[in-house]
Amino acid sequence: MSLTIYDSKAHAAVPFEPIEPGKAGIYLCGATVQGSPHIGHIRSALAFDVLVRWLERSGYEVTMVRNVTDIDDKILAKSAEAGAKWWAWAYRYEQEFAAAYRALGILPPTCEPRATGHVPDMLKLIQEIVDAGHAYAGDPGNVYFDVTSLADYGSLTRQSLEDMQGDGEDGAPDKRNPHDFALWKAPKPGEPEDASWDSPWGRGRPGWHLECSTMSGRYLGEAFDIHGGGIDLRFPHHENEQAQSHAAGRAFAKYWMHNAWVTVKGEKMSKSLGNSLVVSEILREVPAAVLRFALGTVHYRSTVAYSPQTLAEAATNWERISGFVARAVEAVGEVPAEEVAALGPADLPADFVDAMDADLNVSGALAAIHGAIRDANRTMASGFAGEEARKSVLRAQLEVRSMLGVLGLDPLAEPWRSGERALVAGAGAGGGDAAGQALGALVGKLLKARAQARAAKDWAAADAIRDRLSAAGIVVEDGPEGARWSLA
């Protein structure tokens, strides 16, 4: 079985057949850096991180471009309200997004271009669209795309013009049609002078849709394999991106993939509901691996129902998985990271591979992981005698960690191995920093005293030590190889 993906434009699961064999070019709509990243933003990045990991594990050379929109109406409005320079405002939140990506183990893209760095390329694309008869100049500084001029406008979302809503600029008096959208926008009164650029049509700044058409073409070429983003971007953003590129004679994206959103208490996340959840605030209370598990192990086209119960279930699963890896390492030693990363589809359990090839069915992939853990646990619990048993657990560790790596959740890979609150192999869960080592030494002494009390059948003393650790937020788990601990 080869990889199939759900093409949003075709409304069907289709075989992934890249334009260039052995290579995959992906463009993902990234952040508009107007404020702090919330879990809705991160959900999209996580979904496509899994795609990149599986493509790479399947032998593809992946070029992943994820843009940064560092100028738009909201950035200008919010920075002005705060009395800040717009470019400083944008950079501040760009760094917050970068920190959130790192904290959750999201691989860096091949390239992460900023909109403001590509204005000359945008002006060139506008000129191509104008020359092709698909755009017109309005008032000085305004250029609009003529949606009636393009036969396939609406083909991405399968809409006719009669059924569409406008793009939010319906009141612009210089537009010929309410559905026409801005390629180039004149500055508004009071906006900073340095938030606009000279152009043949007057001083202005790029329209939102234009940025992605330009940057995808700049780094991936006029035709590339996959365009991704949140389902809420399909219209008007992605529809208009496609229209601009087709109008300039570019083939643009071969496949479209869209992730579903995050809901809180049954409602789509939105600031108007007051339930946007900022990643940095969540990570003050929730281990990053648990948050990644909660957001990243739901199928990308399914809604994530975010709640305390969701986090609790993710924490339980993460503890079970990371606990197995720790016990396996104690029993047979740690498999080197390069061996874990080297396993491809031909080496991994068939049920895992089949699940990932079926449009990234992460639920099925997790079932395969849990099955492998269950079998290995039986082997370790049965006395674990003989070389064959040792080889079996060693192979299980290798396969489980390799499968987890595809999901970005190998407990012995970065950032979980050295993360402050990560569950890692060894004496405990303190991580690789000085504070973690000190914590590990202290807990280790208490566990040694507890083991001595248990050996002397002083159950009251043993229970008292366990209760002290529990009160400090440390969970103790007894197993065939002795006691292990983790942060609650």
Calculate ∠ Cα 262-76-46, nearest 5°.
25
Q: Nearest to residue 292, comparing CAs of 411, 428, 429?
A: 411
Q: What are phi and psi of 253, to 5 degrees?
A: -80, 135
Banded model confidence at residue 479, pLDDT cuts 50, 70, 90: low
pTM of the complete model: 0.85
Q: Based on DSSP, count helices (H) and strands (E) in the chain, helices before strands.
A: 15, 15
Q: How far apart are CA 323 and CA 343, in angstroms?
A: 22
Name, in order, each residue with C-beta under 8 angstroms of 293's C-beta and a sequence gap of 6 or more.
314, 315, 317, 318, 409
Residue type, 482: G
* Percentage, residues of the chain above pLDDT 90: 76
User: Would the pLDDT of 452 be above 70?
Assistant: yes
Residue 443's pLDDT band, with cuts at 50, 70 and 90, is confident
**Tokens 């091949």 sit on residue:** 110
Each domain of the chain, given as residue ranges in start order, spans 4-259, 296-425, 427-488
pLDDT in tens, 255-312: 999 999 999 977 776 655 555 589 999 999 999 999 999 999 999 999 999 999 999 9
CATH 3.40.50.620 fits 4-259, yes or no: yes
CA nearest 33: which of 81, 74, 84, 77? Answer: 74
Residue 361 above 50 pLDDT?
yes
SS3 197: strand
